[in-house]
Amino acid sequence: MLQYLTVPVTPFQQNCSILWCDATHEAALIDPGGEIDRLQAEVQRLGLKLTQLWLTHAHIDHAGGTGELAERLGLPIIGPHSGDQFWIDGLPMQSQRFGFAPAQHFTPTRWLTDGDTVTVGQETVQVRHCPGHTPGHVVFHAPQIDRAFVGDVLFAGSIGRTDFPQSNHQQLIDSITQRLWPMGDQTVFIPGHGPESTFGRERRSNPYVGGT
Ligand SMILES: [Zn+2]
Ligand SMILES: [Zn+2]
């Protein structure tokens, strides 16, 4: 079985998730944006062995702690999609602009593309490429527990910003309606910020994509 615990980090209260296989106690961190000492302490408290870092996209609040944590523990960095290379290159500028601790540069061990799978312990998770907020944004879907980790694609009652370089509003809407909705109304999603919701609830009531 897969289990997860979401830990909001950074001044942006970004939802970093600890995702683990309870048969092997191996864990992945999704979007270790910062506060990596605290994340490590949580992993230890849960009795888990951290084996990899997964990224939905390379904005500072999601990716800022990745380089340092990967180096400290010798962990592979999985994702995002290569469309976010320019955001990774821009991490020093992002940390300065938003008053974050200087982010250490990193190179993903493996870029992800649509239809890929990633594994933690004995569990397999599906990857969907969901561009729009950033060109290389990916989403992690765990159908075995009806959960999706969607980063800044969709929020409870809102959608991701598209006022960044290489953002695209229509692409974001298409990602939501063509790649998230097919995961099913019952699927609970963990957004990059704020509370969880279900795709069914957002399809009914989200002011940006409701009724689609
Ligand atoms: Zn973002
Ligand atoms: Zn964010």
- For residue 23, report the distance from its CA to the centre of ligand 1, in Å: 32
pLDDT single digits (tens) 141-155: 999 999 999 999 999
Please count the CA atoms within 13 angstroms of the CA of 142 that sit on its side-chain side. 23
| pLDDT exceeds 80 at position 212 | no
For residue 191, the ligand closest to its alpha carbon is: 2
Per-residue pLDDT at 100: 86
Mean pLDDT of 2-28: 97
Angle made by CA atoms 37, 49, 117, in degrees to the nearest 5 = 105
User: Structural domains in the chain?
Assistant: 2-205 (3.60.15.10)
| pLDDT exceeds 80 at position 57 | yes
Give the pTM. 0.98
Per-residue pLDDT at 98: 87
- Please state at what angle helix 36-45 crosses helix 66-73, rounded to 10 degrees: 50
For residue 192, the ligand closest to its alpha carbon is: 2
For residue 31, the ligand closest to its alpha carbon is: 2
Average pLDDT, the chain: 97
